[in-house]
């Protein structure tokens, strides 16, 4: 994998005495979808949040090792976390729009960056909503409250909000677990289209979603990265018995 | 045990029943052939309906498992191989039925000299042995036993190659029909060998995740 954008090198994460991630080394290929799978508490969400330093807010969090984005250590003391998060956006499990209009939600990231050019903001909002496959559904009513949208629309709005600042990487933490099958299908279709321009790392509990969506899959178990490889290899013929037991549902 | 595991266990039992039923057809066909026993030949003919029904049941079970449980990795390979083996077994049963039809179509036994020359007894022995190998390989998930089939298939091919020459050598107008039927029986047993080889290849794919078909080194 030569065209990687993210890399973790011997990453260990602790929450107080709990060793949450154990010596994780892994590369994430650019313009691909990488799925992180594993049972609850295996460390996959912790690992996802390592990439945009979301764990920094947790008091008991401690980390060693290196996390690189395009070769630069994102935990370097000179790294501006706000700048990092412009490059690495995040979408959460439950849609979390702000109690503002659709337009304001998408424009929010641009405004806090200090951008004031109205035409620029307008164009970027439209582009982001189009990329998130929501434009046609909301274009006539951009001033409507985001909270009035359906769950699936709200999640696509959150994706549009993340895209508005033009990140390189999108981190998604179970982005469809709160959605119905139709909304899930729309978000999955969107992820598939977005990978042409973005690198996506997604945490999912849904094995079929991981196999449908991702190019690479990483299986975590009790803080260890058990197996990482091309998704078709992981789901056709995993090399490690523990991976096989997990994906075939023989342990939870 | 998860529901999928239970379904796969049931599917394994179903296919084993199919193996046993088809093996029985082959054993009865051999007896009908050498004893020129038309009653046994009819038995084989009548049992074919049961084999066909079993084939359809296994097809449906595979389809249900794929649709409802989305198996992956070793489970997916198992279902795919059961689906293919099921069809190969049904074709072996068709071969047994075809030979029995020839027996029923004759008024007297096959000419003994020609039967000896075409070495059909050896062909039956090899076919039965291959069938036993694939059954043992399937039951015990034992690919080394599955691999024994490949050499035996080559042996069947060798015998088959001499079939036409031996029939011509024995040709006389009176026995023409019997001799043509006999040559067809040789061809059918050779085909049964190929089908057993296909089954062995599927078992290796299922257990080892190795594709050995169309390859010289297995």
CATH number at B154 reads 1.20.58.220
Contact A237 B2 (CB under 8 A): no
Closest C-alpha among A12, A5, A6 to residue A224: A12
Q: Would you say residue B145 lies in a domain?
A: yes
Q: Tokens at residue B137, please?
A: 């390989």
3-state secondary structure of A214: coil
3-state secondary structure of A21: strand
**Distance between B19 CA and the closest CA of chain A, angstroms:** 26
B119 backbone φψ class: left, alpha, beta (φ>0; ψ -120 to 50): left
**Contact (Cβ atoms closer than 8 angstroms) between residue A183 and residue A150:** yes
pLDDT given for residue B217 in this prediction = 65
pLDDT given for residue B165 in this prediction = 85
Please tell me the distance from the alpha carbon of residue B165 to that of residue A220, in angstroms, as a whole number: 65
Q: Would you say residue B213 lies in a domain?
A: no
3-state secondary structure of B218: coil
Phi and psi angles of residue A12, each rounded to the nearest 5 degrees, phi first: -120, 135
Of B4, B5, B74, the CB nearest to A244: B74
Please tell me the distance from the alpha carbon of residue A144 to that of residue A133, in angstroms, as a whole number: 17
Please tell me the distance from the alpha carbon of residue B133 to that of residue B188, in angstroms, as a whole number: 19
B66 touches chain A (CB under 8 A): no
Of B2, B76, B77, the CB nearest to A249: B2
**Contact (Cβ atoms closer than 8 angstroms) between residue B41 and residue B160:** no
Provide the domain count of chain B: 1
Q: Would you say residue B75 lies in a domain?
A: yes
Q: Would you say residue B216 lies in a domain?
A: no
Q: Tokens at residue A35, please?
A: 């799925």
Q: Tokens at residue B22, please?
A: 């088809």
Q: Around Cβ B140, how many Cβ atoms within 10 Å? A: 11
Please tell me the distance from the alpha carbon of residue B118 to that of residue A231, in angstroms, as a whole number: 53
Name chain B contacts of A246, Cβ cutoff 8 Å: none
Q: Tokens 């690198």 appear where?
A: A199
Contact A250 B5 (CB under 8 A): yes
A211 touches chain B (CB under 8 A): yes
A240 touches chain B (CB under 8 A): no
Phi and psi angles of residue A227, each rounded to the nearest 5 degrees, phi first: -155, 140
**Distance between A133 CA and the closest CA of chain B, angstroms:** 29
Enter the CATH code of domain A4-95+168-247.
3.40.50.300
pLDDT less than 50: residues of chain B:
none
The torsion of the CA quartet A162, A166, A169, A172, rounded to 10 degrees, works out to 10
Angle CA(B66)–CA(B67)–CA(B72) in degrees, nearest 5?
40
Identify the burial level of B110 via C-beta atoms within 10 angstroms of its C-beta, where 0-12 means exposed, 13-18 middle and 19 or more buried. buried
Which segments of A43-180 does DSSP mark as H helices, in order?
A: 44-50, 81-87, 102-112, 118-131, 135-138, 151-164
Give the total residue count for chain B. 218
Q: Would you say residue B217 lies in a domain?
A: no
**Contact (Cβ atoms closer than 8 angstroms) between residue A230 and residue A216:** yes
A214 touches chain B (CB under 8 A): no
Domain membership of residue B162 as a residue range: 3-208
- pLDDT (tens, 9 = 90+) of chain A, 252 residues, equals 679 999 999 999 999 999 999 999 999 999 999 999 999 999 999 999 999 999 988 989 999 999 999 999 999 999 999 889 999 999 998 899 999 999 999 999 999 889 999 999 999 999 999 989 899 999 999 999 999 999 999 999 999 999 999 999 999 999 998 888 888 898 899 999 899 999 999 999 999 999 999 999 999 999 999 999 999 999 999 999 999 999 998 874
Q: Tokens 């909503």 appear where?
A: A129
B80 touches chain A (CB under 8 A): no
Q: How many CB pairs under 8 A join A and B?
A: 29
pLDDT given for residue B110 in this prediction = 92
B75 touches chain A (CB under 8 A): yes
Name chain B contacts of A206, Cβ cutoff 8 Å: none
Contact A247 B72 (CB under 8 A): yes
């Amino acid at each position: 994998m030569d065209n990687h954008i993210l890399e973790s090198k011997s990453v260990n994460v602790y929450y107080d005495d709990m060793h949450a991630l154990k010596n994780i080394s892994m590369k994430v290929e650019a313009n691909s979808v990488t799925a992180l799978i594993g049972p609850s508490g295996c460390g996959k969400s912790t690992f996802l949040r390592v990439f945009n330093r979301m764990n920094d807010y947790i008091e008991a969090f401690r980390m060693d090792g290196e996390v690189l984005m395009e070769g630069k250590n994102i935990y370097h003391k000179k790294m501006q976390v706000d700048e990092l998060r412009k490059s690495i956006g995040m979408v959460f499990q439950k849609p979390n729009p702000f109690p503002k209009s659709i337009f304001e939600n998408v424009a929010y990231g641009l405004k806090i960056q200090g951008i004031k050019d109205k035409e620029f903001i307008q164009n970027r909002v439209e582009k982001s909503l189009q990329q998130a496959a929501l434009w046609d559904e909301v274009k006539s009513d951009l001033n409507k409250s985001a909270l009035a949208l359906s769950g699936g629309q709200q999640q696509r709005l959150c994706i549009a909000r993340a895209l508005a600042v033009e990140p390189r990487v999108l981190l998604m933490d179970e982005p469809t677990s709160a959605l119905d099958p139709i909304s899930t299908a729309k978000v999955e279709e969107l992820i598939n289209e977005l990978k042409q321009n973005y690198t996506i790392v997604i945490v999912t509990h849904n094995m079929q979603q991981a196999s449908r969506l991702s190019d690479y899959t990483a299986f975590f178990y009790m803080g260890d990265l058990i197996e990482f490889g091309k998704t078709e290899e992981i789901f056709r013929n995993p090399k490690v018995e523990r991976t096989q037991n997990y994906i075939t549902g023989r342990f939870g | 045990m998860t529901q999928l595991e239970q379904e796969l266990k049931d599917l394994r039992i179903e296919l084993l029943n199919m193996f046993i039923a088809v093996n029985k057809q082959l054993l009865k066909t051999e007896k009908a052939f050498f004893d020129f026993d038309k009653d046994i030949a009819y038995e084989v003919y009548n049992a074919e309906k049961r084999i066909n029904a079993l084939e359809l049941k296994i097809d449906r079970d595979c389809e249900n498992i794929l649709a409802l449980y989305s198996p992956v990795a070793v489970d997916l390979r198992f279902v795919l191989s059961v689906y293919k083996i099921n069809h190969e077994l049904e074709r072996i049963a068709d071969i047994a039925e075809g030979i029995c039809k020839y027996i029923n179509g004759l008024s007297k036994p096959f000419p003994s000299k020609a039967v000896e020359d075409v070495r059909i007894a050896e062909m039956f022995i090899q076919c039965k042995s291959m069938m036993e190998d694939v059954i043992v390989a399937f039951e015990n998930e034992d690919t080394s036993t599955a691999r024994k089939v490949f050499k035996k298939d080559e042996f069947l091919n060798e015998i088959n190659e001499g079939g036409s020459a031996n029939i011509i050598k024995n040709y006389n107008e009176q026995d023409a029909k019997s001799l043509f039927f006999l040559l067809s029986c040789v061809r059918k047993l050779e085909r049964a060998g190929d089908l057993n080889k296909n089954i062995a290849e599927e078992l290796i794919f299922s257990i080892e995740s190795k594709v050995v078909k169309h390859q010289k080194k297995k």
